Amino acid sequence: MNKIRKSNTKKILVAIMVLMVAGSGSAFAATSGTLTLTGTVPSILEISVNAVGNTGLDLGIDASNVKVATVVERSNKKSGYTVTLESKNAVTQNADKGVFSNDDPDVSASLDYTISYGNKQVSLSDGSAIISNVSEKTAGSGSSNEVAISYNGATDFPYEGNYSDTLTFTIAAK
């Protein structure tokens, strides 16, 4: 029985010594430490064109500042960005205004229209124009701009038929 007690006592003493040595490690620990955090922000350069209900237009009337879309520009580019507007038909005709063209290939008819972007009149050159030239990032929600058009359908009295044009908005980093 004594041998068992001595064996248990030795085991207990060894366990206590192990705990003391393990606990004394904190006495040698540093008094401060550092942690370096890193992260990335992805490059954002995007544009969204949201048509409003006025894309099926009555071209037989005179109309002024008809809202047709809202364009949202969004960018976090350090050097900024540009947005270019292009009228498909105006490019074909090297025009300085938007052009509705009659969809009937046997009818050579068109109706000119003007465009405003963000309440500023757009002047096309050979069918396109830089409509935003920005040297900084946008807000996180982007920069919203209304697109409106004006035309003189009653005054110009175009031929009957369906007319169309396609506007393309392109955002590019500087």
List, for residues 62-109, the tens digit of each pLDDT value.
999 999 999 999 999 999 999 999 999 999 999 999 999 999 989 889
pLDDT at 108: 86
Q: What is the pLDDT of residue 67?
A: 96
For the chain, the structural domain boundaries read 1-30, 45-173
The whole-number pLDDT of residue 19 equals 52
The pLDDT of residue 22 is above 80: no
Q: What percent of the chain stands above pLDDT 70? A: 83
Query: Tens digit of pLDDT for each residue in 41-53?
Result: 999 999 999 999 7
Percent of the chain with pLDDT over 90: 78
pLDDT digits (tens, 9 = 90+) for 106-136: 988 999 999 999 999 999 999 999 999 999 9
Please, is 32 exposed, middle or buried when counting C-beta atoms within 10 Å of its C-beta (0-12, 13-18, 19+)?
Answer: exposed
Whether the pLDDT of residue 155 is over 60: the answer is yes
Q: Is the pLDDT of residue 59 over 90?
A: yes
CA distance 101 to 2: 112
Q: Does domain 45-173 fall into CATH 2.60.40?
A: yes
pTM, two decimal places = 0.78
For residue 172, what are the β-bridge partners? 82
Which helix or strand (DSSP H or E) is residue 56 part of?
none
For residue 109, the surrounding DSSP H or E stretch is: none
